[in-house]
Chain A
């Protein structure tokens, strides 16, 4: 009973939040509602007995990713309303609706039903975190390491992208600064 109520409540809330994200003209509203939506999604994870994942969702997604977006937003002009000219809004509705229908049909079809044998069964004796940890570091070790390398690459990529060398404005700025620096030195000696 409790579960059902929680499910529907969070479902409504999530859908509402995400709808605001895609519909609103204000960038800040979009960002905030997105963050809220993420939190509500983690609620779903808790409902589904995926405790570890729920916490990870909050920490990584809402915490890190949203923070990244927030920092990114600072670069852009966020106060003014985002003006968008859309050629054909009806087309967008139509396409999306049809695709939704199809996906639902597919998922409801008898494929998603019986005869699925669990490869990594859930053990209910110990907690979910322990379970996840066991599987992650044994069966999924290689993907884990690869994901780690990928994060490393992303980090390096991010540094390089944001670094001064990639930026034509920054290089001239740096040259100016060096110039000043040299001047200062000569003045100092005199």
Chain B
């Protein structure tokens, strides 16, 4: 069984290394095939491990080798396959394999084909280390690894130029109505990485606090002893760890990077920004549930923040015309849902929603990728329309996924989202419930707004000269398992609960049956209303917001993402830039360089002057000798007298 663990963990690494060899060469199809095959092996190994853990209820815990063993510090490279991590492994590997196969088709004409697969497989490897590690240090290694690979993948087309800011909403890179997702891919990559790094500082502080007080970073030892610490300390630890999670899972105020990350290729968004990296934050909270259960006040804060993000993101998706940004905002919103569940103590619910969300969101992104590929990378949904006739399979898959996202029975999203709403209601957090309920309606609305604009209605693209066609067969074949999972995953809820509560705390919403069914009814109702509104309004008007709405303030605010990117730019980026320039020009060049150069200059001049001694002239050499004797005698006298 341990061999399956190592196989699952290291197959993507082998794929990444193999692809790296070809990074600077022309496209080699073999690279895509081999990496996908290796990912498939990892997926099979993870499934076998899932079967094993499910049937035998045995946890596999290996200690591969010692990493740091100095004094009191002992940190090994250890890996654990328990119920939580095997769930994550299965989700990650299934989605990654499908994304790899899809990328073979999407990145077909890209000249950096090989480099893409190198980064992608490396990303999966880091994510697997993150979920399989048995201590916080290994988690952090994976954490940073996914951050790095995400940087490489978002900034994949780094040679694209920066777009200038502009007040025009259709052209500004900070607007959701423009075709640009961010100032430039490398800008977006840097923003993602730096924001993550800043949040990671919080996580590091949390880890340091844990280590300082408990002397270990191993999960089992930490969780066993966490109860012995003072309450304030545990609150601090929980808050700091959550700050790290906020960065990775793009909670406010670290949320701007997620929408801007759409500058990267679409399979990247499918993998990283739907299923894996952004769920790392949720994973952290779920894994450290024993810390968070002790401090429910932090949990309430998490839940409140999650709800805030959920509705904020949903509102921003209402007016966006950038297709990928709409899906990105929906990811952000669903992450908020997950954090609400985790904050309220319903950890398995959060994990369940994570899994179902991974399936339908990734397939949404992959479908969007198909559409973009067919439309020469057009991203404005208003320039599409009526693609159902040309891309029937993609349309079907995306519609199904959107239904799942909206939470319509009997698709997967219904079960998981419903549980979250139930957890909010059962904890008597009625405000949270209301917020989430409204967001569910908004979610249904904007997802079908997207579907309507893209696949139905008038064909708006003819004057732009696009000739859309369906994607390759194997691409559709890769998306199908995910779509099927998006449909059926919810049906296994009971087995999942039974399985996962062997590791996670049991949570049940103790509601009367009547209340329970009423809640389900109300939730489904608003979802169906949202869908219906989206469909019928479009069929009637062909558009959602009339042009008079476009000038209104609330429209502008939403289109500008609540002016949050502008705020960041003004308050953080510009002053920091000025500080950096100051440090460079005044501190580094004038002081530090001056000191270093000065030392070198002293030695150099000293040598040049000292050269004068070596004239080769014997007479002056003798004079110098006498001088030396003089100095020595002075020293003798001096030290002799002081004795």
Mark A residues whose CB is within 8 Å of B. Answer: 91-92, 95-96, 98-99, 102-103, 105-106, 109, 111
Please, which residues of chain A bring their CB within 8 A of the CB of B627? 95
Please, which residues of chain B bring their CB within 8 A of the CB of A106? 633, 636-637, 640
| Given contact pairs A109-B640, A111-B640, A102 touches B634 in the complex (Cβ within 8 A) | yes
| Given contact pairs A109-B640, A111-B640, A102 touches B633 in the complex (Cβ within 8 A) | yes
Chain A's closest residue to B620 (CB) is: A87
Please, which residues of chain A bring their CB within 8 A of the CB of B637? 102, 105-106, 109
Chain B's closest residue to A84 (CB) is: B619
Judge whether A96 and B640 touch: CB under 8 Å.
no
- Closest Cβ–Cβ distance, residue B618 to chain A (whole Å): 13
In the complex the two chains form, what is the Cα distance from A123 to B211 in whole Å? 82
Judge whether A96 and B636 touch: CB under 8 Å.
no
B623 contacts chain A at the CB level, 8 A cutoff? yes
Interface SS of chain A = helix
In the complex the two chains form, what is the Cα distance from A102 to B630 in whole Å? 8
- Closest Cβ–Cβ distance, residue A91 to chain B (whole Å): 7
Please, which residues of chain B bring their CB within 8 A of the CB of A95? 623, 626-627, 630
In the complex the two chains form, what is the Cα distance from A98 to B623 in whole Å? 13
Judge whether B633 and A91 touch: CB under 8 Å.
no
Mark B residues whose CB is within 8 Å of A. Answer: 623, 626-627, 629-630, 633-634, 636-637, 640-641
Query: Closest 3 interchain pairs by CB?
Result: A102-B633, A99-B630, A95-B626
Q: List 26 A-B contacts (CB under 8 A).
A: A91-B623, A92-B623, A95-B623, A95-B626, A95-B627, A95-B630, A96-B626, A98-B630, A99-B626, A99-B629, A99-B630, A99-B633, A102-B630, A102-B633, A102-B634, A102-B637, A103-B633, A105-B637, A106-B633, A106-B636, A106-B637, A106-B640, A109-B637, A109-B640, A109-B641, A111-B640
In the complex the two chains form, what is the Cα distance from A91 to B620 in whole Å? 11
- Closest Cβ–Cβ distance, residue A162 to chain B (whole Å): 22
- Closest Cβ–Cβ distance, residue A94 to chain B (whole Å): 10
Please, which residues of chain A bring their CB within 8 A of the CB of B629? 99
Please, which residues of chain A bring their CB within 8 A of the CB of B634? 102
Please, which residues of chain B bring their CB within 8 A of the CB of A109? 637, 640-641
If A99-B626, A102-B630 are given as contacts, then 15 extra A-B residue pairs at C-beta distance below 8 Å, sorted by A number, are A91-B623, A92-B623, A95-B627, A95-B630, A98-B630, A99-B630, A99-B633, A102-B633, A105-B637, A106-B636, A106-B637, A109-B637, A109-B640, A109-B641, A111-B640
In the complex the two chains form, what is the Cα distance from A96 to B627 in whole Å? 9
Please, which residues of chain A bring their CB within 8 A of the CB of B630? 95, 98-99, 102
- Closest Cβ–Cβ distance, residue B428 to chain A (whole Å): 97
- Closest Cβ–Cβ distance, residue A56 to chain B (whole Å): 28
Please, which residues of chain B bring their CB within 8 A of the CB of A103? 633
- Closest Cβ–Cβ distance, residue A45 to chain B (whole Å): 26
Chain B's closest residue to A95 (CB) is: B626
In the complex the two chains form, what is the Cα distance from A76 to B91 in whole Å? 103
Please, which residues of chain A bring their CB within 8 A of the CB of B636? 106
In the complex the two chains form, what is the Cα distance from A80 to B234 in whole Å? 102
In the complex the two chains form, what is the Cα distance from A99 to B626 in whole Å? 8
Please, which residues of chain A bring their CB within 8 A of the CB of B633? 99, 102-103, 106
In the complex the two chains form, what is the Cα distance from A98 to B637 in whole Å? 13
In the complex the two chains form, what is the Cα distance from A109 to B633 in whole Å? 13
In the complex the two chains form, what is the Cα distance from A91 to B623 in whole Å? 9
Chain B's closest residue to A102 (CB) is: B633
In the complex the two chains form, what is the Cα distance from A105 to B633 in whole Å? 10
Please, which residues of chain B bring their CB within 8 A of the CB of A105? 637
In the complex the two chains form, what is the Cα distance from A105 to B636 in whole Å? 11
In the complex the two chains form, what is the Cα distance from A20 to B570 in whole Å? 90
- Closest Cβ–Cβ distance, residue B588 to chain A (whole Å): 47
- Closest Cβ–Cβ distance, residue B601 to chain A (whole Å): 30
- Closest Cβ–Cβ distance, residue A97 to chain B (whole Å): 10
In the complex the two chains form, what is the Cα distance from A102 to B626 in whole Å? 12
Chain A's closest residue to B641 (CB) is: A109
In the complex the two chains form, what is the Cα distance from A140 to B637 in whole Å? 32
In the complex the two chains form, what is the Cα distance from A93 to B630 in whole Å? 13
Please, which residues of chain B bring their CB within 8 A of the CB of A98? 630
In the complex the two chains form, what is the Cα distance from A91 to B624 in whole Å? 11
Chain A's closest residue to B634 (CB) is: A102
